[in-house]
């Protein structure tokens, strides 16, 4: 039976065996030595033999990679380091030697030996062999006693999949920088897929921001692909979606409709705006003022407007007062002209009417009737007609169509018939077929 008591602890507890294709599993083994007796024990050496190999009963596959250290603590709380040295070549053991070759191990004192190890790949129970060289007196005979202390190695657990793939902002404005983050093990390699590209992530990184050229311009879904380094290889896929407040779209097809308070151009030069009000549509320019609608053709049921003008500022224009329509020329208020092939009217109120040329005859409408003028002047003109059906004619004379025809004038006394004779008033002849009088 040993004079000292040995307790084995591990971190993590239990230790996890290493797995093929993954980084080696590591852990720390703590061997706590205490004196639980009623009197001091004197010790010279304590040797800890470690099972080395890849089997279920082995702690580690490589003894040379174990990192040992030791510490001694008294009942009063004083701590001091102790030297831990490898044992003889091939022994796979560590040995602790008491200061001065022999030292008292008082009741309540303790010693902690720490071994940082790479854990063997097979799960199972590993037993460490502890040999103490102790005695009851400072100078008496020492004896060797052996104790077995054990620990459990569990099979490697499945690597937990990555989680919590998230953007730092769910809605991006034009100047915002996007950062995607996630939680995951170093046992995975990571890449991020997005429309038009993919990016591989360094093994120690758990966040990524797209470069300016890859920044989202519309709603974008990112895919995190985590690939295990174990055999067989496993892949995990996580997705997250980012919204853009002012998205850029190549085309937009809406099969049911679009509900929006306004639509605006994409650049400063074309930021005209269409606003949908309760009564219709308002068109604004890039400064917020009322603007222009340009179209090849407008098919309307009705149009309410103060005026209509041609496309040029010098074109004629039409205004709509209560009384009817005003036709103006140029950009001023001078009266303009109406050109038409035909006018079908119920009535015309006008000061005069003229042919299309300024040399054409024209008609004015004084209060007492109708004046016919020639050549755009105020010289009397002629009325030409095939037939006239009149209730009465007031005239000084009547002549045939030719200048050489006879003519009739109407004097105070009656009717005079003249023949054509170089402007002289020579009596003419009345020719009749029959005279029937009472």
Q: How many CA atoms lie within 13 A of 276 on its CB side?
A: 7
Q: What is the pLDDT at residue 413?
A: 87
141 forms beta bridges with none
Kind plus residue range of the DSSP H or E element containing 189: strand 188-194
pLDDT in tens, 90-147: 999 999 999 989 999 999 999 999 999 999 999 999 999 999 999 999 998 999 999 9
Q: What is the pLDDT at residue 43?
A: 96
> What's CA 138's distance to the chain center, in Å?
82
Q: How far apart are CA 190 and CA 236, in angstroms?
A: 10
Q: What percent of the chain has pLDDT over 90?
A: 49
Q: How far apart are CA 303 and CA 325, in angstroms?
A: 14
With beta carbons less than 8 A apart as the criterion, state whether 17 and 123 touch: yes
**End-to-end alpha carbon distance in the chain:** 183
Fold agreement between 5-154 and 163-244: yes
CATH architecture of 5-154: Sandwich (2.60)
**Counting Cβ atoms within 10 Å, is residue 73 exposed (0-12), middle (13-18) or buried (19+)?**
middle
CA dihedral (332, 336, 340, 342) positive or negative: positive
For 163-244, CATH gives 2.60.40.10
Predicted TM-score (pTM) of the model is 0.49
pLDDT in tens, 394-408: 788 888 777 778 878
pLDDT in tens, 49-92: 999 999 999 999 999 999 999 999 999 889 999 999 999 999 99
pLDDT in tens, 167-211: 999 999 978 999 999 999 888 999 999 998 999 999 889 999 999
Q: How many CA atoms lie within 13 A of 199 on its CB side?
A: 16
- Eight-state DSSP code of residue 335: B
With beta carbons less than 8 A apart as the criterion, state whether 417 and 427 touch: yes
Q: Is the per-residue pLDDT at 47 higher than 90?
A: yes
> What's CA 318's distance to the chain center, in Å?
47
Q: How far apart are CA 418 and CA 255, in angstroms?
A: 91
- Over residues 410-424, mean pLDDT: 79
- Over residues 341-361, mean pLDDT: 86
Kind plus residue range of the DSSP H or E element containing 68: strand 67-73
Name the token pair of 95. Answer: 């040995």
Q: What is the pLDDT at residue 16?
A: 95
Q: Where are the domains of the chain?
A: 5-154, 163-244, 395-438
Pairing of strands 415-418, 407-410: antiparallel
């Amino acid at each position: 039976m040993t004079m000292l008591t040995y307790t084995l602890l591990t971190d993590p507890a239990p230790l996890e065996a290493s797995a093929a294709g993954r980084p080696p599993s590591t852990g720390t083994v703590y061997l706590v030595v205490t004196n639980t007796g009623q009197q001091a024990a004197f010790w010279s050496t304590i040797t800890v033999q470690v099972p080395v190999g890849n089997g279920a009963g082995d702690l580690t596959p490589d003894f040379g990679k174990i990192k040992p250290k030791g510490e001694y603590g008294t009942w009063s709380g004083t701590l001091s380091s102790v030297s831990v040295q490898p044992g003889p070549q091939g022994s796979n053991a560590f040995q602790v030697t008491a200061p001065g070759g022999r030292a008292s191990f008082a009741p309540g004192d303790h010693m902690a030996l720490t071994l940082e190890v790479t854990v063997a790949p097979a799960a199972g129970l590993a037993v460490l062999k502890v040999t103490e060289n102790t005695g009851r007196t400072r100078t008496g005979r020492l004896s060797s006693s052996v104790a077995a202390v054990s620990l459990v190695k569990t099979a490697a657990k499945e690597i937990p999949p990555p989680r919590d793939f998230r953007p730092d902002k769910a809605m991006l404005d034009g100047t915002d920088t996007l950062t995607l983050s996630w939680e995951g093990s170093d046992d995975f390699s990571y890449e991020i897929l997005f429309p038009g590209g993919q990016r591989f992530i360094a093994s120690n990184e758990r966040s990524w921001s797209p470069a300016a050229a890859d920044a989202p311009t519309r709603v974008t879904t990112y895919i995190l692909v985590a690939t295990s380094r174990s055999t067989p290889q496993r892949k995990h896929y996580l997705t997250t979606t980012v919204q853009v407040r002012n998205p850029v779209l190549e085309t937009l097809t809406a099969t049911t409709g679009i509900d929006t308070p306004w639509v605006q151009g994409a650049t400063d030069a074309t930021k005209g705006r269409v606003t949908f009000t309760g009564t219709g549509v308002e068109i604004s320019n890039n400064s917020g003022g009322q603007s222009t609608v340009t179209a090849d053709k407008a098919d309307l049921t009705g149009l309410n407007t103060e005026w209509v003008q041609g496309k040029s500022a010098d074109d004629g224009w039409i205004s709509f007062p209560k009384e009817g329509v005003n036709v103006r020329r140029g950009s001023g208020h001078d009266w303009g002209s109406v050109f038409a092939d035909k006018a079908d009217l119920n009535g015309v109120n006008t000061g005069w009417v003229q042919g299309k040329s300024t040399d054409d005859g024209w008609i004015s409408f004084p209060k007492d009737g109708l004046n016919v003028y020639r050549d755009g002047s105020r010289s009397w003109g002629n009325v030409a007609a095939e037939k006239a059906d009149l209730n009465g004619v007031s005239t000084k004379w009547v002549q045939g169509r030719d200048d050489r025809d006879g003519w009739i004038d109407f004097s105070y006394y009656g009717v005079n018939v003249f023949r054509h004779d170089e402007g002289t008033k020579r009596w003419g002849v009345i020719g009749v077929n029959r005279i029937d009088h009472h």
